[in-house]
Amino acid sequence: MSDDTKTRILDAAERLFADSGIDATSLRAITAEAGANLAAVNYHFGSKEALVGEVYGRRIDPLNRERIDRLHAALRDAGDGVPSLPAIVEAFVAPAMLAMQDPDAGRTFIRLVGRAHTEASTDVRRIVFTRFQDVALAFQKALARALPQLDRSTVQARFKFMIGAMAYAMTDPTACAGPTERDVRRSLDRLVRFLVGGLEAPTGEEK
Amino acid sequence: MSDDTKTRILDAAERLFADSGIDATSLRAITAEAGANLAAVNYHFGSKEALVGEVYGRRIDPLNRERIDRLHAALRDAGDGVPSLPAIVEAFVAPAMLAMQDPDAGRTFIRLVGRAHTEASTDVRRIVFTRFQDVALAFQKALARALPQLDRSTVQARFKFMIGAMAYAMTDPTACAGPTERDVRRSLDRLVRFLVGGLEAPTGEEK
DNA sequence: GTATGTATGAAACGATCGTTTAGCACAGGA
DNA sequence: TCCTGTGCTAAACGATCGTTTCATACATAC
């Protein structure tokens, strides 16, 4: 059921973390928002750090799974040929951007994920990046196939630029002006076109 | 003199903020690192928030001034014609990237500035963005001139993508593998080429 | 010499943090 | 009926936070 205490705590923590950051959000604020007792967090999750892990894990895993699924579909379409760069880019950024119109997970969590990429805390970075590493490697490999003219360190650098642009777009509340599907689609389209242009830009070293 | 207590506190705070974030850094850690008494922070700066403001302001103002100077030079070179897109992009990102090889300010502060763009705390965002707003407007205007085929909202969106990619490159310790000028130059060149490619990508709406 | 203002120090303040303890209500099985 | 385990709560714990107070050293001006 959805008014389970554990679920209410997760929802409240997710919202408050996204608004104010993790360090700045106290367990007392979370339990007050969730209508639960302060001790309920330690009872259900063991510690605040474990709660943070569950807040992220609950949504990150499906997100990364969708990224991988879309990537495999794009690679399958290419067969033995060169895979489509826009398809790879969209496989990477679309799951996150489209989740913004999900009224349940919604923008709240997307801002949280976007922020995780730049969060100061070592614990948070570890939580998120261990779940992200496989995805990152798979996409770097696909990008290298789609961009055979680029050497590997350039692909790595440009992949990081892509993460940065996407993460910032996710944290920026004005990036997706409206909650309608049209608005999100347009933001996604803009981001994909920008990233494709940047990824396939000439390096100045070739030829 | 450079072992002034006030300066030592600023240096220590800058380093610790960059490493662990602002919320997670206590005044006790700062004063211990600076070899000063705990009360010295409140004596010299009044409060922790005021200290944060001075840590940023000390370096941000020269950085933004250099951005504006470079931008004006690029616009002057163009005369009445279309200004050079790579020159505008480089005017924006070069001052920050090149500051990484400054042994004094150095990467410590650059990571701090990069993180400021995504920092959760409202106070920090306000401190940095009030100093950044004029720069952002000037560059958006210049980009619109250099990219006449794009409508204004597209320029705005792509400008934000540029900020995101740059901020992430600044926070990533591996973005600039080495501290040598060659390494920094190569990272800067990569970032500029990526951003130029993304900024002048086709929109799909034109024609 | 005396007064004044600045820089620093030790110690404590109240507040808030994450966590723990002890106990209560209540379900279901022996 | 008694027992056990689960969900939850009120209350307190020790630690740490930013800040303040009060005292002291010391330079400079009178």
Q: Which residue of B has its CA nearest to A176?
A: B157
- The answer to whether the beta carbon of residue B131 comes closer than 7 angstroms to any atom of strand C is no
Is strand C in 7 Å reach of the CB of B37? yes
CA of B76 to C1' of D8 (A): 70
A42 closest-nt by C1' vs CA? C19
The residue assigned the tokens 């070739």 is A206
Taking an 8 Å cut-off on Cβ atoms, the answer to whether A194 and B193 are in contact is no
Instruction: Return the half-sphere exposure (C-beta side, CA atoms, 13 A cut-off) of residue B200.
Output: 17
What is the model's pLDDT at position A205? 63
Strand D nucleotides, any atom under 7 Å to a protein CB: 7-12, 16-22
- Which of A23, A158, A169 is opposite residue B194, by nearest beta carbon? A158
CA distance, residue B1 to nearest chain A CA (Å): 32
- 3-class secondary-structure state, position B187: helix
pLDDT value of position A2: 47
From first to last of the 207 residues of chain B, give the pLDDT tens digit.
347 999 999 999 999 998 888 888 999 999 999 999 999 999 999 999 999 999 988 888 889 999 999 999 999 999 999 999 999 999 999 998 888 776 666 667 777 877 776 666 666 777 778 888 999 999 999 999 999 999 999 999 999 999 999 988 887 766 555 567 788 888 899 999 999 999 999 997 654
DSSP state of B45: H
The DSSP result for B139-171, as a single string, is HHHHHHHH-TTS-HHHHHHHHHHHHHHHHHHHH
| Sequence-separated (6 or more) residues with CB below 8 Å from residue B189 | A204
**Is A44 (CB) below 7 Å from strand C?**
no
**Which residue in A has a C-alpha nearest to residue B164's C-alpha?**
A165
DSSP H/E element including A141: helix A122-146
Q: Is the CB of A69 under 7 A from strand C?
A: no
Tokens 């450079």 map to which residue?
A: B2
User: In terms of C-beta distances under 8 Å and separation of at least 24 residues, what long-range contacts does B107-113 make, across chains too?
Assistant: B107/B173, B107/B176, B107/B179, B108/B14, B108/B15, B108/B18, B109/B14, B109/B18, B109/B59, B110/B170, B111/B18, B111/B170, B111/B171, B111/B173, B112/B14, B112/B17, B112/B18, B112/B55, B112/B56, B113/B56, B113/B59, B113/B60, B113/B63, B113/B170
Closest-CA residue in chain A for B155? A190
Q: Of B157, B189, B163, nearest to B175 (Cα)?
A: B189
- For an interface test with A, give the residue of B168, B174, B176, B206 to mutate (most A CBs within 10 A): B168
Q: Which chain B residues touch A160 with a CB distance below 8 Å?
A: 168-169, 172, 175
B172: DSSP letter: -
What tens-digit pLDDT sequence spans chain A (207 residues)?
347 999 999 999 999 998 888 888 999 999 999 999 999 999 999 999 999 999 988 888 899 999 999 999 999 999 999 999 999 999 999 998 888 776 666 667 777 877 776 666 666 777 778 888 999 999 999 999 999 999 999 999 999 999 999 988 887 766 555 567 788 888 899 999 999 999 999 997 654
A interface test, pick of B119, B151, B194 with most A CB neighbours within 10 Å: B194
What was the pLDDT predicted at B1? 39
SS (H, E, C) A2-35: CCCHHHHHHHHHHHHHHHHCCCCCCHHHHHHHHC
B40 touches strand C (CB under 7 A): yes
For tokens 């997670």, the residue is: B24
Torsion sign (Cα): B98, B101, B107, B112: negative
Q: Are A68 and A23 in contact (CB under 8 A)?
A: no
CA distance B200 to chain A (A): 7
Look-up of token digits 């554990």: A6
- What single string gives the DSSP state of each residue in A96-121? HHHGGG-SSSHHHHHHHHHHHTT-S-
How far apart CA B71 and CA A33 sit, in angstroms, is 48
Phi then psi dihedrals of residue A147, to 5 deg: -125, 65
pLDDT at B105: 61
State the angle between helix axes of B106-116 and B122-146 in degrees (0 to 180), rounded to the nearest 10: 90
Question: Can you give the distance from the CA of residue A7 to the C1' of nucleotide C18 in angstroms?
Answer: 20
DSSP tag of B99: G
Locate A137 and state its tokens: 């490697």
Indicate yes or no: CB of B190 within 8 angstroms of CB of A121.
no
Determine the Cα–Cα distance for residues B178 and B173; give it in Å rounded to an integer: 10
What is the structure's pLDDT at A1? Answer: 39
Q: How far is A22 from chain B (nearest CA, A)?
A: 9
Instruction: Please report residues contacting nucleic strand D, using a CB cutoff of 7 A.
Output: A 4-6, 36-40, 43-44; B 25-29, 38-39, 41-42, 47-49
Q: What is the pLDDT of residue B166?
A: 92
With beta carbons under 8 A apart, name residues in chain B contacting A21: 23, 119-121
- Nucleotides of chain C in contact with protein CB (under 7 A) are 7-12, 16-22
